Amino acid sequence: MMKQEWHSSLHIAYSREVKQTAIKGETITMTTPTKPGLMGIFAHPDDESFGMAGTMKRATDAGHPVAIVCATRGEEGQIADPALATPANLGQVREQELRRACAAVGVTDVSFLDYIDGHLAEANEDEVIRKIVAHLRRMRPAVVATFDPKGAYGHVDHIAIHNLTLGAVWAAADGDRYPELGAPHRVTKVYYTAIPRERLMEMVTQARSQGQDFVPGGDEATIPVEEMGIPMAEITTILHLTDAEFDAKQNAIRAHATQMPADSPFANGSPEDLRRMMGTETLFLAPPPVSAQPFPAPEDDIFAGL
């Protein structure tokens, strides 16, 4: 008689239903297939919440496994309120903020790659890819989301995590690479979180009309506004959040308190403004060979076709 057991407790954590039957002293473990998973791979705490907290909430509500991998702890950033953290403990505080933000949308699988905020592009490429491959082969997500090639507004860490994630998606599928990290796994759909370029331009125009000089991404921007985000016409995937999804997203964003100055439009906007700014999430589904195959677009479900 075959003896079948899971070699990893992680598999059990992800299985929806595990039954054990003792037959003649042997254990046969059976499991129903899990729903396809989503892994978000980003550079800093808060990237995931602005980009796709509502998408994560919808996924966890429907029983999809969701994980977040974050390359740094955002420890070099500005502290919005000095009562919340010091430069010395900012990384620890932001780790907890990310965990709370993820919990607000039902995500408990949160991992850090332990790189230095602002310096991801200088890290050893093979080492980073190896770490991401380990996460991809452990969780085996059908869907991965990361930044677009220009890192939304040209943030060097965002561009780096885009390139490293694509390198890891490729490497994870190649059985000759890192065989010690487990069986190869091919991610089926790769998404880029996509701020519509038109929305960014509109925000800049509006600020200028009020005499303010507003640049999306602030000091971290390295490209002109005209090149930021992704043109609306190229966006493949639009999720209009329900009230419950939108509320959960608000809670996720507020969990990043050290990144939320009191005058932030995300902290003190009117309910209508907040809904308009964040009530819809937009993603770009990368065509093959980044994704494993083409899918029809537009779509309103990241798991469509799986």
Q: Which residues bind Zn ion (CB under 5 A)?
A: 43-44, 47
Which residue's CB is nearer to Zn ion, number 47 or number 97? 47
Burial class (CB in 10 A: 0-12, 13-18, 19+), 96: middle
Q: How far apart are the first and last CA of the chain?
A: 34
Give me the least distance between CB of 158 and Zn ion, in Å please: 6
Residue 112, both tokens: 């850090």
Give me the least distance between CB of 114 and Zn ion, in Å please: 16
Give me the least distance between CB of 47 and Zn ion, in Å please: 4
Which residue's CB is nearer to Zn ion, number 98 or number 134? 98
Which residue's CB is nearer to Zn ion, number 114 or number 174? 114
Give me the least distance between CB of 272 and Zn ion, in Å please: 27
Give me the least distance between CB of 5 and Zn ion, in Å please: 41
Which residue's CB is nearer to Zn ion, number 191 or number 303? 191
Distance, in Å, from the CA atom of 302 to the CA atom of 36, rounded to the nearest integer, reads: 10
Give me the least distance between CB of 156 and Zn ion, in Å please: 10
Which residue's CB is nearer to Zn ion, number 155 or number 189? 155
Which residue's CB is nearer to Zn ion, number 207 or number 221? 221
Q: Which residue is nearest to Zn ion (CB)?
A: 44
Give me the least distance between CB of 165 and Zn ion, in Å please: 14
Which residue's CB is nearer to Zn ion, number 85 or number 171? 85
